[in-house]
Amino acid sequence: MDLLGRTLARWHLSEQGYLVTFDLACQRSGTEDCPIYRIDIAGVRLAGGKAVNAVVGALRSWWHPNAYLTPSMVRTHILPGLTDSLSDEAVETFRSCLDLGMVRVDKLLFFSHASPEKSEEAEEILRQLGIETVYLERVAVQLVQQPANKAIHSDPLVMQVMGLLRGAMRGREEKEPGEPLEKPAEVEPVQSPQLQFPMFHSTVTAGEK
């Protein structure tokens, strides 16, 4: 997963009060033959020292300009990789590992680009599986539009990304008046162009808190 996608996803969840971690591996205790479920990103929100909500997410920050979330993209490239990380079994194992009890656990897909025409149809396919879609490009817009009193963030990566995005916006605004912005043709990639930048890996087993 690339650093930009991770930073945007972390910021999105942390703004909602979640404590966030990446690359979480969960397995039920006492069952060595039980599968290990690997979750790209997970978060827990606390109130009064107790968990009140949690999320598990798949991060697909495919920044290729033609990688839009379409129904075809979902069926061919997204769903096959979610059968483990966001399955009901994975969520229940995650719940058991963190001793969350009956706390609500939401399932999210973080994806880079929305399709200009087919995003709603693609989102509905995922929603029928209990998965909500978060577009990283929209998170980036929210980040760069932070008011001055919230522009300073404790996470240095957020500040770097904010500076990068604001620089890109200035470059866009400085284009010659009347100069058309190129819009790439919508062609779905066969393989993910995403680069891997593992930050850290966590393994959690139920009973090991």
- Between these two residues, 163 and 197, which has the higher pLDDT value? 163
Q: What percent of the chain has pLDDT over 70?
A: 70
Tell me what pLDDT residue 30 has: 66
Q: Is 21 exposed, middle or buried (0-12, 13-18, 19+ CB in 10 A)?
A: middle
Tell me what pLDDT residue 148 has: 61
Domains in the chain, CATH or no CATH each: 3-139+200-205 (3.40.1350.10)
123-140: b (≥16 Cβ within 10 Å) or e:
bebbeeeebebbbbeebb
Please tell me which of 17-21, 32-36, 78-82 the model is most confident about, judged by mean pLDDT: 17-21
pLDDT at 21 over 60: yes
CA angle 133, 42, 101 (to 5 degrees): 110
Structural element, H or E, at residue 185: none
pLDDT average, residue stretch 52-67 = 93
Confidence of residue 3 (pLDDT cuts 50, 70, 90): confident
pLDDT average, residue stretch 171-181 = 54
Q: Are 120 and 70 in contact (CB under 8 A)?
A: no
Tell me what pLDDT residue 1 has: 47
pLDDT average, residue stretch 132-144 = 91
Kindly report the average pLDDT of the chain as a whole number.
80
Tell me what pLDDT residue 191 has: 45
Tell me what pLDDT residue 134 has: 98
Tokens of 136: 């990283």
Q: What is the pLDDT of residues 75-121, one digit of tens each?
A: 999 999 887 889 999 999 999 999 999 999 999 999 999 999 999 99
- Between these two residues, 200 and 175, which has the higher pLDDT value? 175
